A = this chain, B = another copy of it.
């Protein structure tokens, strides 16, 4: 028998510790405002060894001033930090480990820093927690990776500490909410402190310190693709995808991965797909960043609504002028909350389609290479079957009905399935094979001592592969053997494709499990750049009526 003993212990240790830190920090603040030159002192005052620290670290915008300042703190005072951040984008995100200030890392995407990260993991400079998908990472902020101190960024603040996030909302609201409502400390760098904000996005009550940064936060145009670089081969894949997948399933709500393959799809909607009479029947609702290559489809009435994860440099005036399409706030600028966009990409979208670098013989795919711990950002969350989904759309239902091994999964019951599509080139221009016996991810796991091979999309989630050879309808396969044969049929001149048995492929084509261009009524000779609604950046600007303002590196006029 357990005796009932009401507690006498202190249950407010976090709150008391926070109060003590804020007291130390207040020496450098007037109200909530801290001068930029006092940032290092502030950080030394409020950070403690071993803290979980969130540095924003978004996909696009960066709290780069705070990242630099964090590298300047005294490592005898502040050390062994556990960095929890969705993205590693700038050298300072790793410098902080080299300087002995941080030790452990949990993250989602490492883009340009992936190679250096792999080396640092191998030589023990970074203790790696896990690689996440974005929404998974945010989820853990509320549970077991709770930030003690968060270093975040926004467009503007007022003197009270109210925050305006502007076009690129991204991770900021999720980070701040998780931090502040677990009694953590929130420090903002803002581009400007102003008298009156265009709107308040985060109330001052949730903010501890605000610093006007000497330079505006870094923002990268990650989702801009120049139509001039789209090859005929990509246009062929786009045509096959539109006929064989978009139209076949009636896909209305979707996400596009970034890359030239899906940019080609976006640019032939107003031409090729228009001629097929598909406007209003496909591609009406998008979970997508404001891709400039989507402008012609918007202008010609294809896109009815777009909800974004972040913003895109140069698209601001265009977005403002298309307020029926984008998620616009009371001040006329976009709201782009990555947490909700990722939830929508998982649960509201009928299809995720994007490019990959490698697919193995089973249908697992990854963009990982042998010595680059890059992570996958949002792809695993969107490129997986949403098993909790219960609402029915035509696309989801049809894909579910086609699942050949359904009885093994759920007996005689029914369920839909998300369309998860990977576009790939069988052999790249540089000669790298897209189809491989074993993913580089397997070697990377060993090289970087990861807990799991970093696979972006697993075979049982993948419904279609589109290569320049044709489309494999993987969910229509009855078992792994048939699936492997379907993959071989579209794998071209790779080690996987060489195992193709033409007789089996013939049978799979009859069953609609493999479709080549002629099966889809697509003529490869018509796959030319003439189909692109915009052929270069200048065309995109013209489509926008001059509202789109591309960054200088995308201009040649």
Question: Chain A interface (Cβ within 8 Å of chain B)?
Answer: 1-2, 4-7, 11-15, 106, 129-133, 135-136, 138-140, 142-144, 146, 162, 174, 177-178, 180-183, 199-206, 252-253, 270-271, 274, 285, 287, 296, 299-300, 305, 307, 321-325, 327-331, 335, 337, 339-341, 343-344, 346-349, 360-364, 376, 380-392, 397, 405, 407-416, 439, 442, 451-455, 458-461, 479-480, 530, 533-534, 539, 542-546
Contacts and interface: CB of A to CB of B under 8 A. Distances in A.
A362 B413 CA distance: 9
Contact of A205 (B180, B330, B408): B330
Max chain B CB contacts within 10 Å: which of A177, A343, A451, A479?
A: A343
Contact of A380 (B388, B405, B461): B388
Number of copies of this protein chain within its complex:
2
Nearest to A15: B323
Contacts of A322: 11
A451 B451 CA distance: 41
Contact of A135 (B203, B361, B388, B405): B388
B200 A328 contact: no
B181 A408 contact: no
Nearest to A544: B6
Given A200-B204, A205-B200, A328-B15, A533 B2 contact: yes
A330 B414 CA distance: 47
A146 B7 CA distance: 47
Contact of A459 (B381, B411, B461): B411
Max chain B CB contacts within 10 Å: which of A270, A343, A388, A544?
A: A388
A307 B458 CA distance: 30
Nearest to A441: B413
A433 B40 CA distance: 66
Nearest to A201: B203
A410 B362 contact: yes
Closest 5 CB pairs of A and B: A362-B411, A6-B545, A130-B391, A384-B387, A200-B203
Given A530-B1, A543-B6, A144 B305 contact: yes
A290 B217 CA distance: 40
A413 B542 CA distance: 48
B140 A391 contact: yes
A378 to B, nearest CB: 9
A311 to B, nearest CB: 13
Contact of A347 (B139, B329, B341, B409): B139
A308 to B, nearest CB: 10
A327 B388 contact: no
Contacts of A530: 1
Contacts of A5: 299
Contacts of A204: 200
Contacts of A349: 143
Given A206-B330, A346-B139, A348-B140, A387 B325 contact: no
Contacts of A205: 199-200, 329-331
Contacts of A346: 139, 388
Contact of A340 (B174, B201, B325, B344): B174
10 contacts: A6-B542, A130-B390, A130-B391, A133-B388, A183-B323, A183-B328, A362-B412, A387-B461, A392-B451, A410-B458
A143 B253 contact: yes
Given A130-B391, A343-B139, A542 B4 contact: yes
A238 to B, nearest CB: 15
Contact of A539 (B4, B299, B407): B4
Given A412-B362, A459-B409, A545-B7, A144 B388 contact: no
A452 B439 CA distance: 38
Given A181-B329, A453-B413, A138 B361 contact: no
Nearest to A336: B181
A110 to B, nearest CB: 13
B203 A136 contact: no
Contacts of A181: 327-329, 335
A144 B348 contact: yes
Given A2-B270, A7-B545, A270-B2, A144 B387 contact: no
Given A7-B545, A385-B387, A412-B362, A135 B459 contact: no
A390 B454 contact: yes
A532 to B, nearest CB: 9
A11 B451 contact: no
Max chain B CB contacts within 10 Å: which of A341, A348, A381, A461?
A: A348
A248 B383 CA distance: 31
A211 B135 CA distance: 35
